[in-house]
Structure 1
Amino acid sequence: MTEYSFTIGILTLSDKGARGEREDLSGEVIREMIAAVGEVTHYRVIPDDLETIVETLVDWVDRDGVDLVLTTGGTGLSPRDVTPEATARVLDWEIPGMAEAMRAASMKKTPHAMLSRARAGVRRQSIIINLPGSPKGVRENLEVVLPALTHGLKKLKGDPTDCAR
């Protein structure tokens, strides 16, 4: 745990998961990997529904003040994959380097990575990052952004220390 205490939300987007027809293995991977950054205070599995995703992201950030929201699922080309659109609706600004870095690292493993539409950005003083829906994809993508997350969250919260070493 850092000297900052960050709260984390894990939002799984899955029609089957929301109906109880699929276990949320990706959410568990996130929970394990993110433990050093802060405490998971919010967790939900909801359907791939644009308005429900928007409402959940806004509630978690605006009402509850969650510092970091990691979504899993809904970033591909299926007609039900609406996570990037929902995320775009709620962001104040994007952090393009995070999404670019995840896609670049994934491209080394599969050409299908170029089909990802994942976004990362800021709403108020919170970071929202879209991750793939598979446990393997979550692990590979979260490994890429994890080294920068604590620093980014500190800066967003107003840490005045210089970034240069």
Structure 2
Amino acid sequence: MIPAKQEPAVTQTAQTAPAHIAIVTVSDRASRGEYEDKGGPGAEDWLRATVTSPVQITRRIIPDGRANVAATLRDLADGSADLPRADLILITGGTGPAPRDETPEAMADVIEKELPGFGEEMRRASLREVPTAILSRQSAGIRGATLMITIPGKPSAIATCLDAVFAAVPYCLDLIGAARIETDPARIKAFRPKT
């Protein structure tokens, strides 16, 4: 008698679990309640209008500061018993030239690979709208199976930047072993090479 083929057990993996997306607002004033956070809600609104697959979105507001931002990114990328590892982290704020703007340095402290093309394309798109976009230090990088992207704090600028780069995000997540996400092609047509 030929034994029946056993199917592998289905487990919650990066391929079957909803994507976990974290949005981190970096702002001294917003973290103290002195300023309304517009970047976090702006990024979440953009994601909810664009991503069509199931997602869990976590938002945090933290003060500026290299060590503090790095610790938050590390925690979100590595996960914990209370919160699953983030597949994608969008970090809004702290990317300008002011003394307290240390988000790019904090991200550099925790990533394993930098993806400079993200920053180049976000600045190119933003420069079509405002000449001060050249002061922006947006970038992206990978830690384990987490993609991190720094974005501006203003909702319209967030939309400009994400519109410019998000077509590459789903395939990047595939390549690093993160959860699969799908997008509304009427907004952003995700690019995946034909196999």
Query: Same fold, TM exceeding 0.5?
Result: yes
One-letter amino acid of the counterpart of residue 84, structure 1: P
1:11 to 12, 19, 24: 24
Kindly indicate whether residue 123 of structure 2 is the aligned counterpart of residue 100 of structure 1. no
Partner of 2:133: 113
- Structure 1: any 5+ residue segments left out of the alignment? none
Give the Cα–Cα distance (whole angstroms) in 2 for the partners of residues 3 and 112 of structure 1.
42
Kindly indicate whether residue 69 of structure 2 is the aligned counterpart of residue 53 of structure 1. yes
Contact 1:96 1:120 in 2 (8 A): yes
1:42 to 58, 82, 102: 58
One-letter amino acid of the counterpart of residue 130, structure 2: T
Tell me the number of residue pairs that the alignment of Structure 1 and Structure 2 aligns.
162
Task: Classify 1:70/1:146 alpha carbon distance in 2 versus 1 (closer, same or farther; 3 Å).
Answer: same
Contact 1:58 1:90 in 2 (8 A): yes
One-letter amino acid of the counterpart of residue 88, structure 1: A
Task: Classify 1:38/1:147 alpha carbon distance in 2 versus 1 (closer, same or farther; 3 Å).
Answer: farther
One-letter amino acid of the counterpart of residue 138, structure 2: A
Give the Cα–Cα distance (whole angstroms) in 2 for the partners of residues 116 and 155 of structure 1.
27
- Name the % identity: 37
Runs of 4+ in 1 over 4 A off after TM superposition: none
Q: Following TM superposition, by how much is the alpha carbon of 1:3 offset from its aligned partner in structure 2, in angstroms?
A: 6.9
Structure with a larger share of its residues in helix: 1
Give me the TM-score of the superposition, normalised by structure 2: 0.77
Kindly indicate whether residue 61 of structure 2 is the aligned counterpart of residue 31 of structure 1. no
Q: Following TM superposition, by how much is the alpha carbon of 1:42 offset from its aligned partner in structure 2, in angstroms?
A: 2.1
- Structure 2: any 5+ residue segments left out of the alignment? 1-14, 180-191
Give the Cα–Cα distance (whole angstroms) in 2 for the partners of residues 74 and 158 of structure 1.
26
Give me the TM-score of the superposition, normalised by structure 1: 0.90
Task: Classify 1:158/1:69 alpha carbon distance in 2 versus 1 (closer, same or farther; 3 Å).
Answer: closer
Structure number with larger C-alpha Rg: 2
Q: Following TM superposition, by how much is the alpha carbon of 1:144 offset from its aligned partner in structure 2, in angstroms?
A: 1.1
Superposed CA offset, 1:101-154 (max 9, x none): 101111111221111111201010110000011122111111112222112112
